[in-house]
Amino acid sequence: TDAIALVEEIRKGEPLITSSCKEHVIHLVRRLQEKLGEKEDRKFYLFKVLRAHILPLTNVAFNKSGSRFITGSYDRTCKVWDTASGEELCTLEGHGNVVYAIAFNNPYGDKIATGSFDKTCKLWSTETGKCYHTFRGHSAEIVCLSFNLQSTMVATGSMDTTAKLWDIERGEEIVTLSGHSAEIIALSFNTTGDRIITGSFDHTVAVWDVGTGRMLHALIGHRGEISSAQFNWDCSLIVSGSMDKTCMLWNAMTGTHIATLTGHSDEILDVCFDYAGQRIATASADGSARVYSAGTKKCIAQLEGHGGEISKVCFNPKGNRILTASSDKTARLWDAATGHCLQILEGHTDEIFSCTFNYKGDIIITGSKDNTCRIWH
């Protein structure tokens, strides 16, 4: 595409792009074109094995730049790591039970939230490891959490069937989201932060108004527990994966069902959009992953080769690669367009349940039941 013509086109519908910043936008578009044009046939190599915890890990997560990552564990702690050196920076101690859900407040990365089976969520300083707040109020285990992008609140989802929104500054509960009839195991804010979705074992996904705590839509149609749910980047669509072996696509504004993506022969354990919101990847207990087009709702590629269930799937930031984590003790890297397996990341001695890219897409972290985390460059 001609960058200058494209920016002229964008300017017609976007009053914020004045003539004074036109050159800058053209520069950005050209840089993006270069990035998308870069040839990518890199291989990842094992950089470091971290014997992170004395008990199994539960989760791993990067900050936005990928300079640091965190691990949660059954040993009741969360550890903060330096990605470049693989050194442990600090241990966040204080929970009375398993630290299950963990997150940075990306894009900032100066705070960490930990959700525990002790029914509390704690907010920590990334730099000092100091605990700012302990959020109490759930009557059962916290199993998922998420910051809004504005980093003003954190949401927690619990086995007590509720989700709660907490004020990061004041350290207080803002509102309780009540309406599900079973555990909440997935939650996700939209980009603007005015909506949040919760996925539950009651077979539904609920869309909530963040300001009032009111349920706006119940997405009803799945015939099994929800395993995963998220918005696409422009928040126009919601995707949900379920134990009923299907993935469903919903209109985020109206809550109406758009399509059911079928093909898997066993439970869907994870779903995700690419960053552009054009493609959906699904991971299943049948040992395969699939890529669907959000536009045509057709299956574009089938990723086959794992010898056990796939519990996690994610796109790299560019959207041309997919990473999967499996109980067969390997993670695999795939071409998102063709479904070809490009690389098998081997070495873990037990199932891998967590895998993630850094923001640039040139570092991968895998977390396994073998109590180790591996950094791949």
pLDDT digit string (tens) for 140-186? Answer: 999 999 999 999 999 999 999 999 999 999 999 999 999 999 999 99
Read off the pLDDT of each residue in 66-71 and give the average, rounded to a whole number.
Answer: 96
Q: State how far the alpha carbon of 217 is from the alpha carbons of 205, 225, 243, in Å.
A: 8, 18, 21
Nearest to 284 by CA among 329, 222, 230, 327: 327
Q: With 80 as the cut, is the pLDDT of residue 356 above it? A: yes
Give every CB contact of residue 222 below 8 A, 6+ residues apart in sequence: 203, 204, 205, 240, 242, 244, 246, 248
Residue 109, Ramachandran bin (φ over 0: left; ψ between -120 and 50: alpha; else beta): left
| Percent of residues, the chain, with pLDDT higher than 70 | 100
Burial of 11 from C-beta contacts in 10 A (0-12 / 13-18 / 19+)? middle
DSSP state of 300: E
- Cβ atoms of 357 and 314 within 8 Å: the answer is yes
User: What 3-state DSSP class applies to 229?
Assistant: strand
Q: How confident is the model at residue 12 (pLDDT cuts 50, 70, 90)?
A: confident
Peptide bond into 56 cis (omega under 30): no
**Neighbouring C-beta atoms of residue 35, cutoff 10 Å:** 10
**Neighbouring C-beta atoms of residue 121, cutoff 10 Å:** 25
Read off the pLDDT of each residue in 262-277 and give the average, rounded to a whole number.
Answer: 96
- Cβ atoms of 278 and 272 within 8 Å: the answer is no
Between 176 and 35, where is the model more confident? 176
Read off the pLDDT of each residue in 332-336 and give the average, rounded to a whole number.
Answer: 97
Between 168 and 17, where is the model more confident? 168
- Cβ atoms of 270 and 312 within 8 Å: the answer is yes
Q: With 90 as the cut, is the pLDDT of residue 219 above it? A: yes
Q: How confident is the model at residue 129 (pLDDT cuts 50, 70, 90)?
A: very high
Q: How confident is the model at residue 64 (pLDDT cuts 50, 70, 90)?
A: very high
What was the pLDDT predicted at 14? 87
What was the pLDDT predicted at 15? 84
Structure tokens given for 61: 């997560």
Q: How confident is the model at residue 38 (pLDDT cuts 50, 70, 90)?
A: confident
Read off the pLDDT of each residue in 54-70 and give the average, rounded to a whole number.
Answer: 93
What was the pLDDT predicted at 340? 96
Q: State how far the alpha carbon of 48 is from the alpha carbons of 64, 127, 129, 248, 372, in Å.
A: 20, 23, 23, 38, 10
Q: With 90 as the cut, is the pLDDT of residue 19 above it? A: no
Q: How many whole angstroms separate alpha carbon 129 and alpha carbon 89?
A: 9
What was the pLDDT predicted at 163? 98
Read off the pLDDT of each residue in 118-145 and give the average, rounded to a whole number.
Answer: 98
What was the pLDDT predicted at 1? 83
As a whole number of Å, the end-to-end CA separation of the chain is 32
- Cβ atoms of 161 and 177 within 8 Å: the answer is no
Q: With 90 as the cut, is the pLDDT of residue 11 above it? A: no
What was the pLDDT predicted at 236? 95
Computed over every residue of the chain, the mean pLDDT equals: 95
* Weakest mean pLDDT among 20-29, 205-214, 350-359: 20-29
Structure tokens given for 2: 């001609």
Q: With 80 as the cut, is the pLDDT of residue 300 above it? A: yes
Burial of 81 from C-beta contacts in 10 A (0-12 / 13-18 / 19+)? buried
What was the pLDDT predicted at 16? 85
Q: State how far the alpha carbon of 149 is from the alpha carbons of 80, 104, 155, 251, 267, in Å.
A: 21, 10, 12, 21, 30
Burial of 362 from C-beta contacts in 10 A (0-12 / 13-18 / 19+)? middle
CA of residue 121 relative to chain centroid, distance: 18
Q: With 90 as the cut, is the pLDDT of residue 34 above it? A: no
Strand order through the sheet with 195-200: 184-189, 195-200, 205-209, 215-219
What was the pLDDT predicted at 91? 97
User: What 3-state DSSP class applies to 299?
Assistant: strand
Q: State how far the alpha carbon of 1 is from the alpha carbons of 5, 7, 32, 161, in Å.
A: 8, 10, 11, 49
Residue 169: beta bridge partners? none
Rg (CA), the chain: 20
